[in-house]
């Protein structure tokens, strides 16, 4: 089971004259933990500020959570999440078994919760916020930049882009450098085409 985390917005009302609406999103188990995480980043630019003083300039409020709430409205395109999760299982069941952790017998998977899209990392079990307002999430992803690019393509598809492959570099599913056999890649690509994720190539 993945670790349940809350999503908090940390804001600085009246502190930055040029950026009055500046805020950051932080994932944490509690508001206090979120504020301390934000403080660690803030103190890099202002090392003289103590945590006690920092608490005086910030506000925090919960804006979501990685676990669906009891009465939460379902995502309007759940079938797109299902398509991607099926595709991830195909990728993780073949070749080098990317996106599958044999140690935990777990595939990476997308889900919707708290009005946002999340990706549960196959190795750590930690939910990553798949939101362009959190560009640093790839630092917490257990795989490299190529697979993060693919996850970002998958995010775009789930959010409604019908031609998302290769949006985020590295060639997507048509990249020739996966290290999978040609037979495995053909099977993965065919499933992606049949499910509506991938556009077939001409010729």
Alpha-carbon distances of 50 from 40, 57, 82, 113, 203, rounded to whole Å:
10, 11, 46, 34, 63
Residue 84 within a domain: yes
pLDDT at 70 over 90: no
Residues 137 and 85 in one domain: yes
Structure confidence at residue 133 (pLDDT): 65
pLDDT digits (tens, 9 = 90+) for 87-97: 999 999 999 99
Q: Considering the chain, what percentage of its residues have pLDDT values greater than 90?
A: 69
Averaged pLDDT for residues 119-125:
95
Domain assignment present for residue 174? The answer is: yes
Q: Is residue 200 part of a domain?
A: no
103 has a pLDDT exceeding 80:
yes
180 pLDDT more than 90: yes
Residues 6+ apart with CB under 8 A from 101: 107, 122, 123, 142
Q: Contact at 8 Å (CB) between 119 and 110? A: yes
Q: Nearest CA to 161 among 72, 91, 84? A: 84
Is pLDDT at 69 greater than 80 in this prediction?
yes
Average predicted confidence (pLDDT) for the chain? 92
Domain identity same for 86 and 168 = yes
pLDDT for the residue 136: 78
Residue 1 has pLDDT above 60, yes or no: no
pLDDT, average across residues 143-152: 93
Whether residue 189 sits in one domain with residue 90: yes
Q: Do 93 and 169 fall into the same domain?
A: yes
Q: Which two tokens mark 73?
A: 């409205």
Counting the structural domains of the chain, the total is 2
Q: Is residue 55 part of a domain?
A: yes
Same domain flag for 135 and 173: yes
Domain-embedded: residue 38: yes
What is the extent of the structural domain holding 57?
6-65
| Residues 129 and 7 sit within 8 Å (Cβ to Cβ) | yes
Comparing 6 with 1, the larger pLDDT belongs to 6
The predicted model gives 122-129 an average pLDDT of 94
Would 164 be classed as within a structural domain?
Answer: yes
Quote the pLDDT of residue 2. Answer: 62
Residue 159 pLDDT exceeds 80: yes
Is residue 12 assigned to a domain?
Answer: yes
pLDDT, residue 21, reads 87
Cα 65 from chain centre: 13
Whether 110 and 154 map to the same domain: the answer is yes
- Average confidence (pLDDT) over 26-37: 94
Phi, psi of 163 (to 5 degrees): -135, 60
Q: How many residues does the chain have?
A: 203
Please name every residue paired with 109 in a beta bridge, in sequence order, or none if there are none.
Answer: 120
Model confidence, pTM = 0.86
- Are both 139 and 182 inside the same structural domain? yes
Domain boundary residue, one of 37, 65, 93 = 65
| Same domain flag for 101 and 141 | yes
Strand intervals (E) in the chain:
6-11, 23-28, 59-65, 100-101, 106-107, 109-113, 116-120, 127-129
Does 16 share its domain with 101? no
Q: What is the mean pLDDT of residues 123-127?
A: 93
In percent, the amount of the chain with pLDDT more than 70 equals 97
What per-residue confidence (pLDDT) applies to 120? 96
């Amino acid at each position: 089971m993945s670790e349940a985390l809350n999503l908090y917005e940390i804001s600085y009302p009246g502190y930055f004259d040029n950026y009055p609406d500046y805020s950051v999103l932080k994932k944490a188990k509690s508001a206090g933990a979120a504020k301390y995480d934000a403080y660690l980043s803030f103190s890099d630019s202002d090392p003289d500020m103590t945590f006690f003083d920092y608490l005086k300039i910030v506000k925090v409020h919960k804006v979501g959570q990685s676990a669906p709430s009891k009465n939460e409205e379902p995502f309007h395109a759940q079938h797109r999440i299902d398509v991607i999760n099926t595709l991830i299982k195909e990728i993780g069941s073949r070749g080098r078994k990317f996106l599958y952790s044999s140690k935990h017998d777990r595939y990476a998977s997308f889900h919707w919760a708290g009005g946002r899209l999340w990706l549960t990392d196959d190795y750590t079990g930690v939910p990553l916020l798949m939101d362009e307002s959190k560009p640093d999430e790839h630092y917490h992803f257990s795989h490299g930049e190529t697979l993060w690019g693919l996850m970002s393509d998958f995010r775009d598809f789930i959010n409604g882009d019908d031609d998302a492959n290769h949006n985020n570099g590295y060639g997507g599913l048509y990249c020739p450098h996966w290290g999978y056999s040609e037979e495995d890649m053909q099977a993965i690509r065919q499933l992606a085409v049949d499910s509506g994720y991938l556009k077939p190539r001409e010729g």
